[in-house]
Structure 1
Amino acid sequence: MRPAHYRSWIILTVLVLALAYGVLRWWQGPLVQGYVVSETPLVQTVVGTGRVATESRTQIGSEITAVVLKTLVREGDTVAPGDTLVVLRADDIAAQLRQAEAALEELATNTRPQAEVALRRAATQLEQAQRETARRRDLAGRSVISTEALEQAEQMETLARNTFEAARLTVKAVAPGSVEEAVLREQVAALEAQLAKTVVRSEVAGTVLTRDVEPGDLVQPGRVLFTIALEGKTEIRVPFDERNLARLALQQNAMAVTDAYPDKPFPARVTFIAPSIDPDRGTVEVRLAVDPVPDFLRQDMTVSVNVETGRREQALAVPNDALNKVQNDQAQVLVVRDGKVQKQAVTLGMRGLAMTEILSGLSSGDTILADATAPLDDGSRVRFKEVKLN
């Protein structure tokens, strides 16, 4: 009997202790996790996503209407000024040029010499007519010939003089530097210029971004055949939310990473902040210079950037998940004091990706809940478990 009675007392004692422990835990409240507030280095950043772009690009087209004979570059090729991009069919222009050159050659080797010969012949005939007229005038004065014969001689002299004058004007018209030669030379020059336009060349140094033409295509003035990114500085253009405008400034440093190469971050620097806001998106365009430019960087790549807008060597800071009801520079945290939860208003300073500076409302060593939205009333008892920050 005695051993059974002893065992009953042991069981009863254990139950009482368990009940007492349960009551104590209930009185102490639920177990909550949180942080111990302390000073730590803090970097404030602004995050955005944009694209890689060169400072300028140019579009190249044809000045004439023609059929494409062949293309000589592709997307990604590097070109220099004068490099041929595309060749257009030029059969009709070449034929017209040969015809104009032949006309110019005909003028120099045939028309002009013939005109000079005709002028010399007309001059000889005029001299003969003048002598004949003088002879008949003398005879008519002595009444040897009739007046009619003299008039005939004078008419022949007039015809010869007219022929000579016409020949002289012809020689003048076809002489070197004459209007006719100038017209032919202008025609040749114009056709040579047209023929040169059948070879579309790059006027700039850069990289071919797009090629919108293939052999056999009919191209016309105004159509874009190539887009070339000019050689020069590479930049990242990012549309930041306008709420971040007050934090952004020229020459701020940033770290950038592309979606294609997330393991290869590279530095950048703010060089331009747009003077106006995009009213449709509520963003401000910011441009960041990249120097040196990584080999893998390509035009129009998607890039995420973290712009460093502030730094503290030591700041009283808390993790961002411990903040609730954040409005401008005001927020709320749940503080644990003497085992009880209290809502505490705090004033915010610099804000980083993971931590935010506390300017007032907390002191070093205070304990706060990690979950700022925990459904606990003021004065609720809790058991606090510290979470170490990495």
Structure 2
Amino acid sequence: MEPSSFPERELLRRVRSWQRVPRLRRDIRVARAGTTRLRLSDPGTGKFIELSELEHLIAQAADGEQSSEDLTAFARGYNPAITRKHIEMLVMQLLQAGLLEDEPLAPGYGKVIPLPTAGTTADEFAAFRTQLVSDLHRSEGRRPDHPLPVRKAPGLQARIAVPRLRNDDDLSGGTSIGIGTDPFQALDSSPVPTPGALDELDDTVLSPDGAEAFADDAVPEPVVAPAPPEPAPEPVEPPGAREAPAETRPAPAPETAEKIEAEQDAVWKQTQAAKLRWYQRTSVRLLLALAVLTTAASIIHYPLYITSECTIIPSARVYVRSPIAGVLAAILVDEGTPVKKGDVIARLDDRHLVADRRKAKAETERIEAELERLRHGARPEEISQKRAELEARRTAVEFALKEARRRAGMLQEGVGSKQAQEEAQLDLQIKQNAAYEAGAALKLVAAGTRPEEIAAREAELKRARAELEFIDQKLADMVVIRAPMDGVVLTPRFRERLNENVEAGGLVCEIADTQSVRAEIFVYEREADSIALGMPVVVKVESYPLHPFEGKVGFIAPAVESRDRINVIRVATMLDNRDHLLRQDMTGYGEVECGRKSLIDLDTRRLLRWIRVRFLL
């Protein structure tokens, strides 16, 4: 029979049955190849298997050229329920299709049953079937009259083999079937389908004589074998007598196709009813279990913990800065040195301040002497001196006046130059001004010091003294840098800054209080509603994972910060650090206990928040 004459509806039924077996379920699709021919495609291997390749595939498996996995997949696609009963039906279908002929097996391949050809008469076919069923019984150790189970066969001992075929050999060559144990590789290398898996099969197994398998008009009608005569009853032997050989026992009458199909329908309906009852019981149990779990989750409460990364920072720290510009002439502490408030940390170079103090002191002394003179008034000697100076200036004016007149006369007479006359006139004016100043000074000395002048000198003296005091304070306080609080010096390699220039207000060192530290926990923005002041906090750092540090929430930042592109809220707690285990910038995890909540709240809080934010605006 040509492969194209196979009814495609029968193939579709078999493929669907194959896909319903859980153990054999594969991603199988049926693809058309032409008009009526169908092929199976296995995406796992990317291969297409035509129906016409069945006998060729069996031959390759028998000769070791084809893996048993491919053979099993295709054989079960052709008929999923491969058991003792169904291998017989498969062989009969191949016989009626004219694909099998009588061909002996090689030595050692087991008992050989000659297979009739497509032209075999009905009586010969019935005899073959009877012999085949009898041998199947005997291979399983059953009595010949024992009914064959349709669904729950324990195993398969049938083997199909053909001589080695070449690529140009006819695929419809001779074929034989061997029954019993033999050295062939098993047709199904995987475990035999369990009863539960076989129960899920659809009613796709054809009748023994194959009448319903081929509905196409082009297929010749199968010859229905008449029922064989009733076998004679076996004589009852006394106990202990040896049982007659199985070959001499009469074979049971073949079952009709209608009876087999009815049995299969009954088994299938029973299986479906049992599955429905199982589904119903399972659904009720699942609903009860869900109700119990929901009730328990609503009653049982468990603490809500929010855990996030944290960083350790000092509770208090100050940055010591230089009050004046200078050079660090001496550094008296180093990194990690504990200091007390008022301890000297460093000294600045004071050479320029000493020079400034000397200048300020000299100016102050000069102003003090002048003010003292003004307060006591002028002495007679000073008055006489001023008068003598005035007389000298007047005499000089007279000589200058005479010289200017002489030069002017000479110029009029034409014997003198104009330049000489101008120079004489300029000298006269200078000497007149000097005489005027000398007269004013004499009057001032003779009249005494005025109060306004004394007040001005006193103001100058006060300014000079303030400048001197400021320089002295610089030398006493600003040159010496002291610790503003108790703590520990945190500046790395502080002593290496010796002789370094610092500006006024420049950073000298950092001092922090390490008796208590501050742990800052960065909580996700969505968890902020669960945190409040006073909640217990447990902090663990990477350096001491087995040493928890306990505290309470003492600070919640009023603004959201961005940390690694994630919005977080900074939560802080104070931790006791008298043992100095915690150090600045240590990292770890902080766990905030946010009270007890029901288990159902703990499991659904994030989902409820997501729903409220996005859908309940």
**Shift of residue 43 of structure 1?**
2.2
Gaps of 5+ in 1: 1-7, 10-14, 29-35, 130-155, 332-390
| Aligned pairs for 1:258-277 within 5 A | 258-277=541-560
Rate the CA distance shift 1:190–1:268 in 2: closer, same or farther, 3 A.
Answer: same
Residue 299 of structure 1 aligns to which amino acid in structure 2? Q
After alignment, is 161-170 or 273-282 more displaced?
161-170
Rate the CA distance shift 1:16–1:260 in 2: closer, same or farther, 3 A.
Answer: same
After alignment, is 236-245 or 93-102 more displaced?
93-102
The answer on 1:194 being equivalent to 2:474 is yes
1:308 to 567, 570, 593: 593
After alignment, is 191-200 or 244-253 more displaced?
191-200
Q: Is the 8 A contact 2:350 2:479 kept in 1?
A: yes
Residue 82 of structure 1 aligns to which amino acid in structure 2? G
Deviations 1:333-369 (A, max 9, x none): xxxxxxxxxxxxxxxxxxxxxxxxxxxxxxxxxxxxx
Q: Is the 8 A contact 2:375 2:449 kept in 1?
A: no
**Shift of residue 90 of structure 1?**
1.1
Residue 328 of structure 1 aligns to which amino acid in structure 2? L
CA distance in 1: counterparts of 2:509 and 2:516, whole angstroms: 20
1:115 corresponding residue in structure 2: 373
Q: Is the 8 A contact 2:347 2:479 kept in 1?
A: yes
Q: Is the 8 A contact 1:122 1:167 kept in 2?
A: no
2:570 corresponding residue in structure 1: 285
Higher strand proportion: 1
Residue 191 of structure 1 aligns to which amino acid in structure 2? I
Rate the CA distance shift 1:267–1:26 in 2: closer, same or farther, 3 A.
Answer: farther
Q: Is the 8 A contact 2:516 2:577 kept in 1?
A: no
What is the total number of aligned residue pairs between the two structures? 277
SS in structure 2 of the partner of residue 216 of structure 1? coil
CA distance in 1: counterparts of 2:467 and 2:307, whole angstroms: 62
CA distance in 2: counterparts of 1:222 and 1:25, whole angstroms: 87
| Aligned pairs for 1:46-57 within 5 A | 46-57=306-317
2:351 to 44, 67, 91: 91
- TM-score normalised to the size of structure 2? 0.37
Residue 308 of structure 1 aligns to which amino acid in structure 2? E
Residue 595 of structure 2 aligns to which amino acid in structure 1? G
Residue 581 of structure 2 aligns to which amino acid in structure 1? F
Rate the CA distance shift 1:229–1:215 in 2: closer, same or farther, 3 A.
Answer: same
Residue 198 of structure 1 aligns to which amino acid in structure 2? V
CA distance in 2: counterparts of 1:214 and 1:158, whole angstroms: 63
The answer on 1:299 being equivalent to 2:584 is yes
The answer on 1:221 being equivalent to 2:504 is yes
SS in structure 1 of the partner of residue 561 of structure 2? coil
Residue 251 of structure 1 aligns to which amino acid in structure 2? G
2:320 corresponding residue in structure 1: 60
Rate the CA distance shift 1:262–1:120 in 2: closer, same or farther, 3 A.
Answer: same
Rate the CA distance shift 1:188–1:165 in 2: closer, same or farther, 3 A.
Answer: farther
Residue 121 of structure 1 aligns to which amino acid in structure 2? R
**Shift of residue 45 of structure 1?**
0.4
Q: Is the 8 A contact 1:234 1:290 kept in 2?
A: yes
Gaps of 5+ in 2: 1-139, 142-152, 156-190, 200-274, 276-291, 388-437, 611-617
The answer on 1:69 being equivalent to 2:319 is no
1:255 to 538, 551, 558: 538
Rate the CA distance shift 1:308–1:65 in 2: closer, same or farther, 3 A.
Answer: same
SS in structure 1 of the partner of residue 497 of structure 2? coil
Q: Is the 8 A contact 2:517 2:582 kept in 1?
A: no
1:182 to 459, 462, 468: 462
CA distance in 1: counterparts of 2:609 and 2:352, whole angstroms: 77
Deviations 1:128-170 (A, max 9, x none): x9xxxxxxxxxxxxxxxxxxxxxxxxxx999766325566779
Residue 115 of structure 1 aligns to which amino acid in structure 2? R
SS in structure 2 of the partner of residue 48 of structure 1? strand
**Shift of residue 186 of structure 1?**
1.3
2:522 to 239, 248, 251: 239
Higher helix proportion: 2
CA distance in 2: counterparts of 1:294 and 1:55, whole angstroms: 15
Q: Is the 8 A contact 2:312 2:520 kept in 1?
A: yes
Residue 204 of structure 1 aligns to which amino acid in structure 2? M
Rate the CA distance shift 1:69–1:330 in 2: closer, same or farther, 3 A.
Answer: closer
Higher relative contact order (CA 8 A, sep 6+): 1
Rate the CA distance shift 1:158–1:281 in 2: closer, same or farther, 3 A.
Answer: closer
Q: CA RMSD in A?
A: 4.8
Rate the CA distance shift 1:92–1:157 in 2: closer, same or farther, 3 A.
Answer: closer
**Shift of residue 270 of structure 1?**
0.8
CA distance in 2: counterparts of 1:87 and 1:275, whole angstroms: 42
Deviations 1:237-264 (A, max 9, x none): 1211111112111111011111111121
| Aligned pairs for 1:336-347 within 5 A | none
Rate the CA distance shift 1:248–1:117 in 2: closer, same or farther, 3 A.
Answer: closer
CA distance in 1: counterparts of 2:381 and 2:198, whole angstroms: 138
1:162 corresponding residue in structure 2: 444
Deviations 1:69-127 (A, max 9, x none): 1212223333333222221111011122133235545666xx3698389847349969x
After alignment, is 273-282 or 41-50 more displaced?
273-282
Residue 273 of structure 1 aligns to which amino acid in structure 2? I
2:109 corresponding residue in structure 1: none
Deviations 1:35-86 (A, max 9, x none): x967766221000112122344332222322111121222333333322222
**Shift of residue 174 of structure 1?**
10
Q: Is the 8 A contact 1:78 1:206 kept in 2?
A: yes
Rate the CA distance shift 1:54–1:165 in 2: closer, same or farther, 3 A.
Answer: farther
SS in structure 1 of the partner of residue 471 of structure 2? helix
Rate the CA distance shift 1:174–1:41 in 2: closer, same or farther, 3 A.
Answer: closer
CA distance in 2: counterparts of 1:281 and 1:268, whole angstroms: 26
**Shift of residue 215 of structure 1?**
0.8
CA distance in 1: counterparts of 2:559 and 2:591, whole angstroms: 22
- TM-score normalised to the size of structure 1? 0.56
CA distance in 2: counterparts of 1:276 and 1:117, whole angstroms: 69
SS in structure 1 of the partner of residue 566 of structure 2? coil
Q: Is the 8 A contact 1:115 1:171 kept in 2?
A: no
SS in structure 1 of the partner of residue 491 of structure 2? strand
